Structure 1
Amino acid sequence: MGAFLSLFMAAAFRPRLYFAADPAFIGVRKVPNSKQIENASLSDLVTAQCPTLLKQFRPAWWLTGGHLQTFWSAIGDFTKVDKVEYERTLLRTVDGGTLGLDFTGPPNSELLAETTPVIVVLHGLTGGSHESYVRAILAPACTTVDRGGLGYRAVVVNFRGCAGVPLTSPRLYSGGTTDDIRTALMYISSLYPNAPLLGIGFSLGANVLTRYLAEEGERSRLNAGCVLASPWDFVANIEALDSTLFRRVVYSRTLGQNLVTLANRHVDALAKFPDSPMTAALPAVRSMNRPLLTEFDQAMTRLCGGPSPPFPFPSARDYYVWASSHNLLPKIRVPLLAINAADDPLVPRLPVDTDRYTLSPWVVFSVTAEGGHLGWFEKDNSSRFGVKRWITKPVLEWMQLMGEVAVDTRRMIPLRQADGFTKEEGRDDIGYLQVEGGGHVVGVEDQDGLLAGL
């Protein structure tokens, strides 16, 4: 009976893995750095190279359940762990906006091989490179191999107005807008033309990354992607978020207030654009006190969360329908690992919860029983009540598989100079120009007034 119970419990805590009926075959090296190539199915590669996805995740006993896991991600003190420092580059976009790219890597990164993989990060709703969930991946990924790390480079793409990035155009970011990550990847690929680029997105950034991969298909500048706690179906998950008093008060209003706080930081900058929809919406937003997420999106995001078209949208719901990524999964054409927790209070509806879901042959979808929203905290055996993020290990296994074992088959898209900007051949609406500013960024410094971890 005891043995049976142990087996049952182990199975209950083991992530559920979903593949397409016919997983894609990927070219891989028989041994590291070898020119001998063979094809292997994505499902076989995950089984062999990502063993943590096949093992149980047991949350720390004092952080069981999705709410506690999520709370700890938001209020825990992570300033003493996973320290990462960055050098920031500012890019001006064609529409006058500014992106903040935070670069990091092992000591003496300039001596790394030109084929060293680069991890490209998209953060959550109002986050940035300082977030603990970002650093939990990048600290070991950018640690040297002799110290147990991967020895990779990394770049965090901070959205417009986030993490100290100046707002220089009357436009926000959104969960569905992909032009900024497309622009950032143009710049990153020009710096590292021979390096595999590996994307990872968290929460809202996960949705953006999924949409980018689906829109680009075989033209993706990313070799592979990994998305954690993506909101997928915005309509279904926003409705679930507003369905109970607890979720509305604790989660929806917290997310809404974070966005109000972020908007308030840019009042002076928006004064330069008196006729813009964003500036017109600002007085109503500034008067809000802990609004629901839907209330903020109705007042501002639907109007100025991206370029026109498709913005502005008639309503927040119209924006949610457009921004969702669950229905784009069949269009993915590079390897993508998606991980969600079944008890995530912010994302209770997943694409694989229904028999109608369809996955691309390039997608691996993993669902853990517990973990909350960007939590996945397990006991750290090196201390009595310490915790560590379980998610770090499977993500690093996936990154190593895609960065070192899988063969780079991307087609390089030529760039050109036009009107002072670097642009892609065949496109004139996006491009970048490096501008002054940036500098050294200490990753453990939080943004005052914003609740982290979401």
Structure 2
Amino acid sequence: MGLFWLVPVLPSSGMGIYWSFPIIIFWMVLRLLQVLSSPEKPKLYYRTSGSPFIQAILESCPILTQIFRPTVLWGKSGHFQTVVHVKMGRTKPRWPDSQRFHIPMPDGATMSYDLFDPHEEGHRAKFTLALCPGIANSSECIYLRTFASYAQTHGFRVAILNHLGALKSEKLTSPRIFTYGGTEEYSRMVDHLLEQYPDTKILAVGFSMGGNIVTKYLGESLDNQKKVLCGMSVCQGYEINEAKVLFMQWSNLRRVYTYLMTLNQRRLLSRHRDFLFSKQAQEKCGTFREKDVFSATSLLAVDENYSRIRAGFKSAYEYYRKHSSAYVLQNIKVPMLFMNAEDDPICPPSLYKHARQFAEKTENCIFMTTKHGGHLGYFEGGLLIPDNVTWLDRVIIEYADAVTSLYLCGKLPQQTSSLLVSSGDGEADDIETTFDSGISDLSSWERKSASSEGSVSPVSGVMASVKDVADNTKEKDEEKRDSLKRGSLLKQASTFVQ
């Protein structure tokens, strides 16, 4: 019954039986590729009353309000977007130069991340995009390397976390691998970046499972939010127990994707099997059902027989709830951009309610859905061969540009007011942030630019206006009424710093 949607209306004549089968096959191909589906603008969800920050972002990020045009012949299919991303990736670029750091963790594990320096010095070199990959991924994945190269050309420094156990060339030093919502490694990477570059400002970016980790990292602690300018999450599922039920369904072939992800997880565990399932590991953590793990056909079976035991939970339900970002969203006050595709075959729209509800009642958050894109695909351009830089790459960089420009103008929300976070008793605590105005950074860069060119910087008039705005930040009511003026100012500042 579920396949009837594929079948066109056939003629009732006798000859119809002869040529109907090629029509059925052709129709099925068309439906699978979704060639006839028309591209659309992204749908944006945010607090209806708006905020100066949201207005400035929408003004500075035209890509958020423009039509996303996938690759013509196959890009409108969420399945093809997802499969091309996973199996083929993008045109393999020249591997950008990087430096790998290894850092010991308190439990004996050794986390690592790769650092990619910007191609040229400029005002964006002081900003670092801290990337958290998808499940079982590392800095050696092509999609992450390609994005890192693209970000480098735009002047950003990039750091990419390597999930524990994901690197084939490195052995574990503690009997554990990554978890769906474990933030310890990502937190240590951010801290190490700040130790190495005390003046850098962090922009947190997460893909799929990494989006869940980044969101959870920000929501767990106000101190974590003080370390970043903003967060960006792409194609995450928000609540793992809800996703678990969907993963076991055949609808949109999710059961097939789940099986493939399970095989990948089993391969990773098998690579470190002697260490992870050693007698010492099980004496410390509990008895793993090793046979059931390596015969599992679902991630739930792997987690029930290994992951939740290793993490010390009585059930997979408790393990998933603890690792889901949906339960800490309300604690996030720094700017956030959540992105999902409506044709994502792995994380379907029914999971998006958490991000949408949060965005609609929070001043500094945008939740965006696209009609096409699949799971981390977002390939665009061309008839058959897509552009090497994806629409997703461009969105992240454009949003990062807007946020950093706002920071340089001293106009990020956390620069103009203190953060309000919920305390244990449900009441709000007013806590001062540690963010500086950002204007001094732009001023020093202006002086450097002027001296190197031997002329007066063209930003002098803009700087005067920026300082005037900064001097009036305490007059909040006036700021709200003057939001359009600030948006215009942001455009001027952005024009210069680019």
TM-score, length of structure 2 as denominator length: 0.68
Amino acid at match of 2:221: E
Amino acid at match of 1:281: F
Deviation at 1:142, TM superposition (A): 0.6
Deviation at 1:96, TM superposition (A): 0.8
For residues 92-171 of structure 1, the aligned pairs below 5 Å read 92-107=104-119, 116-143=126-153, 150-164=154-168, 165-171=170-176
**CA 1:247 to 1:352, structure 2 compared with 1: closer, same or farther past 3 Å?**
closer
**CA 1:11 to 1:246, structure 2 compared with 1: closer, same or farther past 3 Å?**
closer
Contact residue 118 and residue 152 of structure 1 kept, 8 A: yes
Tell me the equivalent position of 2:68. Answer: 57
Deviation at 1:133, TM superposition (A): 2.7
Match 2:288 to one of 281, 288, 303: 281
Amino acid at match of 1:262: L
Tell me the equivalent position of 1:16. Answer: 43
Deviation at 1:181, TM superposition (A): 1.5
In structure 1, C-alpha distance between the alignment counterparts of 2:331 and 2:354, rounded to whole Å: 19
**CA 1:12 to 1:288, structure 2 compared with 1: closer, same or farther past 3 Å?**
same
* 1:351-377 residue CA offsets vs partner (Å, 9 max, x unmatched): 654898233322111100111100011
Tell me the equivalent position of 1:254. Answer: 260
In structure 1, C-alpha distance between the alignment counterparts of 2:232 and 2:355, rounded to whole Å: 23
Tell me the equivalent position of 1:174. Answer: 179
In structure 2, C-alpha distance between the alignment counterparts of 1:278 and 1:84, rounded to whole Å: 40
Deviation at 1:225, TM superposition (A): 1.2
Tell me the equivalent position of 2:16. Answer: none
Aligned with 2:372: secondary structure?
coil
**CA 1:97 to 1:18, structure 2 compared with 1: closer, same or farther past 3 Å?**
same
For residues 57-76 of structure 1, the aligned pairs below 5 Å read 57-63=68-74, 64-76=76-88
Contact residue 39 and residue 372 of structure 2 kept, 8 A: no
In structure 2, C-alpha distance between the alignment counterparts of 1:284 and 1:269, rounded to whole Å: 16
Contact residue 273 and residue 279 of structure 1 kept, 8 A: no
Aligned with 2:261: secondary structure?
helix
Deviation at 1:334, TM superposition (A): 0.9
In structure 1, C-alpha distance between the alignment counterparts of 2:325 and 2:195, rounded to whole Å: 28
Deviation at 1:247, TM superposition (A): 3.1
Aligned with 2:397: secondary structure?
helix
For residues 257-336 of structure 1, the aligned pairs below 5 Å read 257-270=263-276, 271=278, 273-276=280-283, 280-281=287-288, 283-284=290-291, 287-288=294-295, 291-304=297-310, 311-336=311-336
Amino acid at match of 1:377: F
* 1:228-284 residue CA offsets vs partner (Å, 9 max, x unmatched): 111112122221121217635421111111111111111243348344466842732
Contact residue 66 and residue 343 of structure 1 kept, 8 A: yes
Deviation at 1:330, TM superposition (A): 2.3
Amino acid at match of 1:55: Q
In structure 2, C-alpha distance between the alignment counterparts of 1:192 and 1:80, rounded to whole Å: 30
Rg larger in structure: 2
* 1:111-146 residue CA offsets vs partner (Å, 9 max, x unmatched): 667961111010000111122332332111112xxx
Amino acid at match of 1:61: V
In structure 2, C-alpha distance between the alignment counterparts of 1:286 and 1:356, rounded to whole Å: 35
Deviation at 1:53, TM superposition (A): 0.8
**CA 1:159 to 1:195, structure 2 compared with 1: closer, same or farther past 3 Å?**
same
In structure 2, C-alpha distance between the alignment counterparts of 1:82 and 1:162, rounded to whole Å: 22
Question: How many residue pairs align between the two structures?
Answer: 371
- 1:42 aligns to 2:46 (yes or no): no
In structure 1, C-alpha distance between the alignment counterparts of 2:96 and 2:292, rounded to whole Å: 34
Q: Which moved more, 1:276-285 or 1:294-303?
A: 276-285
**CA 1:262 to 1:352, structure 2 compared with 1: closer, same or farther past 3 Å?**
closer
* 1:197-238 residue CA offsets vs partner (Å, 9 max, x unmatched): 111100001000001111123642121111111111212222
Runs of 5+ consecutive residues of structure 2 not aligned to the other structure: 1-35, 416-432, 436-498
Tell me the equivalent position of 1:365. Answer: 367
In structure 1, C-alpha distance between the alignment counterparts of 2:337 and 2:177, rounded to whole Å: 28
- Indicate the structure with greater helix content: 2
In structure 2, C-alpha distance between the alignment counterparts of 1:279 and 1:327, rounded to whole Å: 28
For residues 175-214 of structure 1, the aligned pairs below 5 Å read 175-214=180-219
**CA 1:315 to 1:277, structure 2 compared with 1: closer, same or farther past 3 Å?**
farther
Match 1:233 to one of 231, 239, 249: 239
Contact residue 226 and residue 336 of structure 1 kept, 8 A: yes
Contact residue 131 and residue 159 of structure 2 kept, 8 A: yes
In structure 1, C-alpha distance between the alignment counterparts of 2:237 and 2:304, rounded to whole Å: 18
Amino acid at match of 1:163: L
Higher relative contact order (CA 8 A, sep 6+): 1
In structure 2, C-alpha distance between the alignment counterparts of 1:404 and 1:163, rounded to whole Å: 36
Deviation at 1:186, TM superposition (A): 1.2
- Indicate the structure with greater strand content: 1
Aligned with 2:358: secondary structure?
coil
Deviation at 1:378, TM superposition (A): 1.2
Contact residue 115 and residue 196 of structure 1 kept, 8 A: no
**CA 1:322 to 1:116, structure 2 compared with 1: closer, same or farther past 3 Å?**
same
Identical pairs, percent = 25
Amino acid at match of 2:54: S
Amino acid at match of 2:434: R
* 1:402-438 residue CA offsets vs partner (Å, 9 max, x unmatched): 23332474628xxxxxxxxxxxxxxxxxxxxxxxxxx
Amino acid at match of 2:325: S
In structure 1, C-alpha distance between the alignment counterparts of 2:352 and 2:283, rounded to whole Å: 40
Contact residue 219 and residue 411 of structure 1 kept, 8 A: no
Aligned with 1:281: secondary structure?
coil
Tell me the equivalent position of 2:380. Answer: 378
TM-score, length of structure 1 as denominator length: 0.75
Aligned with 1:154: secondary structure?
strand
Aligned with 1:62: secondary structure?
coil
In structure 2, C-alpha distance between the alignment counterparts of 1:225 and 1:386, rounded to whole Å: 28
**CA 1:45 to 1:356, structure 2 compared with 1: closer, same or farther past 3 Å?**
closer
In structure 2, C-alpha distance between the alignment counterparts of 1:114 and 1:398, rounded to whole Å: 13
Amino acid at match of 1:119: L
Runs of 5+ consecutive residues of structure 1 not aligned to the other structure: 1-8, 25-40, 144-149, 305-310, 413-454
